[in-house]
Amino acid sequence: MHLLQYLHRCGLWLCFGLGLGPSAHAQPVSELVPGINGLALKTWVFHPLQKTHDTPRPVVIALHGCGGIYATVGSRKGQLSARHQGMTDLLLAQGYSVVWPDSLTPRQETSLCEQSMASRQVRQSHRLSDVHATLAWLAQQAWTDRQRVALLGWSNGGNTVLASSDSQQKIPQPSVTPDVALAFYPGCKDALRRAYQPSWPVHMLLGAADNWTPAAPCVALGQQSGMSFKLYPDSHHGFDNPVGQVQHLPRVPNGQHPGLGVHAGRNPVTGPQAWQDVLDLLKQRWPDPVSP
């Protein structure tokens, strides 16, 4: 059944992220991945239930935004947020393993969203190093299909997708490198200024109404670099969130109009479309069937 039909029957996204998805019983494993400067990078690793431990399968490294991995309020507090759990369940149902590096709590942070860029202690260089550490760790796992590793990031994690895929990087590459990457509503101004060119295929999923990380620089970046992108109409930052509604966040200082806050929240039409697009893009890159 097509994802949009399935989600409609389940009540849009309520199937995923709220314990109702087909892979809802897959339990994560917490792994400490060696990072730079002695940091123990905490990661959450999810495997499809039907896979044996040493069966190679595609892997998606999922990169959280400025708010971190976890829900901070409600019944899911301390667990993966509804969006993160929903996307995880969706990918597990396709037979992919999913790895979530936590770039914040090992560095004594819970959220960066209300911090100015200049005051942030967790910077893109840290997040880039976390990706490289995770890739190096995946290279040692028997279940990693080294030819099918993807990056998938949201917002600040989308920035990390761009930084990780920049062909101008001088950082030594790990023995496993991503085959494809997808970025939800990244901030593209810095990449645009430095004439970014992707090292592997990157696709951006952008909200046309986003006033936090506006789409226009990303559209220009895509046109300049040849990178693919899709612009979703009437969609704010976080439009793929399966729960909640659009809200004004007055304390976020880094938006399109500093001092006026930003808007973020789900679009019940374009959000599921974007999730289906994620699946379709991965299947285009990895056309061989994957047994869940």
pLDDT of amino acid 171: 66
Residue 253 CA: distances (Å) to CA of 117, 177, 185, 249: 9, 34, 17, 9
Q: What is the pLDDT of residue 182?
A: 98
Does residue 292 form part of some domain? no
The answer to the question of residue 165 being in a domain is: yes
Of residues 169 and 67, the one with the higher pLDDT is 67
- CA–CA distance, 169 with 173 (Å, rounded to integer): 9
Residue 129, token pair as written in the block: 């190093």
Among residues 161, 151, 155, the alpha carbon closest in space to that of 65 is found at 155
Contact 41, 134 (CB under 8 A): yes
pLDDT tens-digit map of 139-163:
999 999 999 999 999 999 999 999 9
CA–CA separation, 269 vs 156, rounded Å? Answer: 24
Q: Assess whether pLDDT exceeds 80 at residue 61.
A: yes
Domain assignment of residue 140, yes or no:
yes
What was the pLDDT predicted at 215?
Answer: 98
pLDDT digits (tens, 9 = 90+) for 236-284: 999 999 999 999 999 999 999 999 999 999 999 999 999 999 999 999 9
Whether the per-residue pLDDT at 12 is higher than 70: the answer is no
**Residues 273, 189: Cα–Cα separation, whole Å:** 26
Q: What is the pLDDT of residue 248?
A: 97
Q: What would the mean pLDDT of 91-111 be, rounded to a whole number?
A: 94
Burial of 35-73, coded b for 16+ CB within 10 Å and e otherwise, reads beeebebbbbbbbbeebeeeeebbbbbbbbbbbbbbbee
Could you tell me whether strands 228-232 and 202-207 are parallel, antiparallel, or unpaired per DSSP bridges?
parallel
- CB of 269 within 8 A of CB of 208? no
pLDDT at 53: 74
Dihedral of alpha carbons 61, 62, 65, 67, sign: negative
* CA separation for the pair 26, 151 (Å, rounded): 21
Q: Tell me what the mean pLDDT of segment 19-44 comes to.
A: 76
pLDDT at 87: 97
pLDDT-derived band at 13, boundaries 50, 70, 90: very low
Segments forming the whole domain that contains residue 157 = 3-285
Report the distance separating Cα 1 and Cα 79, nearest Å.
Answer: 29
Lowest mean pLDDT among 82-86, 174-178, 276-280: 174-178
State residue 78's pLDDT score: 80
pLDDT computed for residue 290 by the predictor: 66
Q: How confident is the model at residue 73 (pLDDT cuts 50, 70, 90)?
A: confident
Q: What angle do CA 220, 169, 123 make, to 5 degrees?
A: 80
Length of the chain, in residues: 292
pLDDT at site 20: 41
| Residue 75 pLDDT | 78
Q: What is the mean pLDDT of residues 13-36?
A: 64
CATH of the domain at 127: 3.40.50.1820
In a domain, 216, yes or no: yes
Number of domains, the chain: 1
In a domain? residue 291: no
